[in-house]
Amino acid sequence: MSPPRCAHPCDECGLRRNPAFLPVTAEEVRTIESFRSGTRVVEAGRPVIEEQRASAYLFTLYSGWAFRYKTLSDGRRQILSFLLPGDFIGLQDEFADGETHGVEAVTGVTLCAFDRDKLWDLFHSHPKLGYDITWLAAREEKMVDDNLVTAGRRNASERVAMLLMHLYRRAERVGMVRDGWAEFPFNQQHIADALGLSLVHTNKTLRRLQHLGLHKLDNGWLRIMEPHALERLGDYFERPMRPTPVI
């Protein structure tokens, strides 16, 4: 993979002007800038991190959609989590003892890249930013926990309802909803791989919920028509999303 290229400075970062993210001091911006190696652009369908190969970089997703996944030896794929702007990517490899996950771009994405070898220096020299990284890792662990509950205990309709609400609310939080429509670049295989359903079952469930008037999917955009009904069906229990750190 080619080394990252330099782009705009961190104090011009559009994410830092988004109320979804916590403000940082000028000193913290300078520290993040010194930690950053540059930016990378990845086309839709291409790997950000290749599965089972260590990456020299950590990333913050700046724009677009991606997902983390693991693949079994027979090719079956499990999507572990979906990634939106502001998400910190690749920290799991720091503690991996064996085969690691992959990250794939769903749309074209732009990422800020950070040298993995500088991570300890960042924790040592600026504990507040180290805590922010730990907080982001714990937040992602919580989302994986929620996905485990979904896959283990919810039925097909509840799984799909939960996923639609979860992704819509996350997209809404970072300003990716326009006139009630959220960008939704996922096909039915993505949904099936995230929820542990067959493709046929996923198709039938999406059609059933849309027939009930709970949501609409149209050319890569999602609209929630009956949010309270969809939340009740999916037992959607996410509390209001508070501002989060962004590295």
* Prediction pTM value: 0.90
pLDDT band at 245 (very low <50, low <70, confident <90, very high): very high
pLDDT in tens, 122-136: 999 999 999 999 999
Taking phi over 0 as left and psi of -120 to 50 as alpha, with beta for the rest, 220 belongs to left
**Helix residue ranges per DSSP H, 1-154:** 26-35, 119-125, 127-153
Q: What is the pLDDT of residue 21?
A: 94
- Which of 8-22, 61-75, 164-178, 197-211 is least confident? 8-22
**Quick one: average pLDDT of 176-202?**
96
Cα separation of 202 and 192, whole Å? 6
Q: What pLDDT is attached to residue 27?
A: 92
CA 47 – CA 90 distance, rounded (Å): 12
Using pLDDT thresholds of 50, 70 and 90, give the confidence band for residue 3: low
pLDDT category at 12 given cuts 50, 70, 90 is: confident
Res 20: pLDDT: 93
Q: Are 216 and 180 in contact (CB under 8 A)?
A: no
Q: What is the pLDDT of residue 95?
A: 65
Q: What is the mean pLDDT of the chain?
A: 90
CB 21 within 8 A of CB 244: yes
pLDDT at 13: 85
pLDDT of residue 94: 66
Tell me the mean pLDDT in the region 84-98: 80
Mean pLDDT, residues 199-215 taken together: 97
**Which pLDDT score, from 0 to 100, does residue 92 have?**
79
Residues 9-13, mean pLDDT to the nearest whole number = 78
The answer to whether the CB of 58 falls within 8 A of the CB of 116 is yes
